[in-house]
Amino acid sequence: MEKHFLHMVMLGCTPNGRFTEQHDIFFGIGSSLKELVPDMNAFWPEAKGRIHIDAWQKITFADGYTIEVISKNEKTTQEEQVFFLNLGGYKKGEFEEYHYKIVTVAKTKAEAIKKAKQTVFYKHCGFKGAESHIDDKYGVDVDDIHNIEEILSDKFKSEFALKITKTNATFEDEKHIGYLKIDKIDA
């Protein structure tokens, strides 16, 4: 059987009627990025197939845990969950909101938020009147983070689960950064 991975993909598009490029994060499960192209297009139908990728990575490790994709039938009982957080922050004098995406392992949303507040981004991308926040509200609100298994499409949820295992190994998943046309994906 082919090995499947959890993929996190930053999609970009300038939809009709918009003046700037828009972004969203897609999570999918597959053996390759190319295999997920139809799912990415289905995820953002308003883009009408004109999306591109600005960044992507396989999620196999976070916070001292390995993250494996297993069959839904093999689902094991575990307290840990994999969360996605989108932090927003500002720099004085710059007409921009900066974002920092986090994938973290925690038992609860509150624990995931606590970890996010320890990041350098959260501590240093804000100033009085424009504090760092977990999008899309000022302050921290549990509605602004997502358990990744819950936001996967029904297609993926019906077939797969995430197995989270504590490990002593420390490494980072490779981040692929830069503009990539969907039709140019080769793997």
Q: What is the pLDDT of residue 27?
A: 98
pLDDT at 138 over 50: no
pLDDT at 123 over 50: yes
Exposure class string for 95-115: b at 16+ Cβ within 10 A, else e? eeeeebebbbbbeebeebbeb
Q: Averaged over 132-156, what is the pLDDT? A: 73
pTM attached to this predicted model: 0.89
Q: Averaged over 129-144, what is the pLDDT? A: 57
Q: What are phi and psi of 47, to 5 degrees?
A: -75, -15
Rounded CA-CA distance 33/119 in Å is 28
Which one is predicted more confidently, 128 or 138? Answer: 128
3-state secondary structure of 111: helix
Rounded CA-CA distance 124/154 in Å is 37
pLDDT at 81 over 60: yes
pLDDT at 139 over 80: no
Neighbours of 38 (CB within 10 A): 9
pLDDT bin (cut points 50, 70, 90) of residue 75 is: low
- Residue 32 has which token pair? 């390759």
Query: How far lies 56's CA from each of 30, 95, 146, in Å?
Result: 13, 26, 18
pLDDT bin (cut points 50, 70, 90) of residue 1 is: low
